[in-house]
A and B are shown apart, each in its own frame.
Chain A
């Protein structure tokens, strides 16, 4: 399995920054779920998906649910980075727009 780095989350009073791990799949999304629940009320939310190598439907569904939760609160989530695998997977599942992914970055 690809290396599993702990998602690093830094929550300051103004900004919650969440890094999505390289291997982000169903067996390990529990951690990310917990972090997202903690971050949902932060005034500024930044997701960093630059490190993502492997991702599955479970992980993307979690991000979609989070995005909707954030939107419900009238806020916006921003992407600090989106890796190609993350972008491809989201597009394939028809979720890229919902997740407000920036246009695909050159690999």
Chain B
């Protein structure tokens, strides 16, 4: 089953994402900021990365930029978890190499629909 990395500094959001995806049978790793996510992503290759934008230590956009620069992550879907107010952030994220976004708030069904859509 596909491996997914969930990156969010909010434990509740991360917990919801991870729990939902695990319940659907995905293998999920968690990281609470961009820097930890980069470390985790270096240790093994994920099929999908879901990343919050606003995080301490390293924000989601810097993380996407670094991750996308790694040959291993060429073409790997990276989705930003963002809110509507962040239209600029969506574009900034895209420019940094994000594949797309999932708009908060989302519920478990919306999350799964998007993940299935991306992973095919």
Complex A–B touching at CB under 8 A: yes
- Residues on A lying within 8 angstroms of B by beta carbon are 1, 25-27, 56, 58
Number of interface residues of B (CB under 8 A): 9
| Residues in chain B near residue A25, CB distance under 8 A | 75
Segment of B66-74, B88-96, B101-109 in the binding face = B66-74
| Residues in chain A near residue B59, CB distance under 8 A | none
Contact B45 A26 (CB under 8 A): no
Contact A58 B75 (CB under 8 A): yes
**Smallest beta-carbon distance A33→chain B, Å:** 13
| Residues in chain B near residue A27, CB distance under 8 A | 71-76
**Smallest beta-carbon distance A63→chain B, Å:** 16
Q: Roughly how many angstroms separate A97 CA and B11 CA in the complex, as a whole number? A: 50
**Smallest beta-carbon distance A31→chain B, Å:** 12
Q: Roughly how many angstroms separate A50 CA and B86 CA in the complex, as a whole number? A: 45
Residue of A nearest to B47 (CB): A1
Contact A1 B75 (CB under 8 A): no
| Residues in chain B near residue A26, CB distance under 8 A | 74-75
| Residues in chain B near residue A58, CB distance under 8 A | 75
Residue of B nearest to A56 (CB): B75
Q: Roughly how many angstroms separate A1 CA and B45 CA in the complex, as a whole number? A: 8
Residue of B nearest to A30 (CB): B71
**Smallest beta-carbon distance B25→chain A, Å:** 16
Central interface residue in B3, B47, B72, B74, by most chain A CB within 10 Å: B74
Residue of A nearest to B44 (CB): A1
Residue of B nearest to A27 (CB): B74
6 contacts between A and B (CB under 8 A): A1-B3, A1-B47, A27-B72, A27-B73, A27-B74, A27-B75
**Smallest beta-carbon distance A60→chain B, Å:** 13
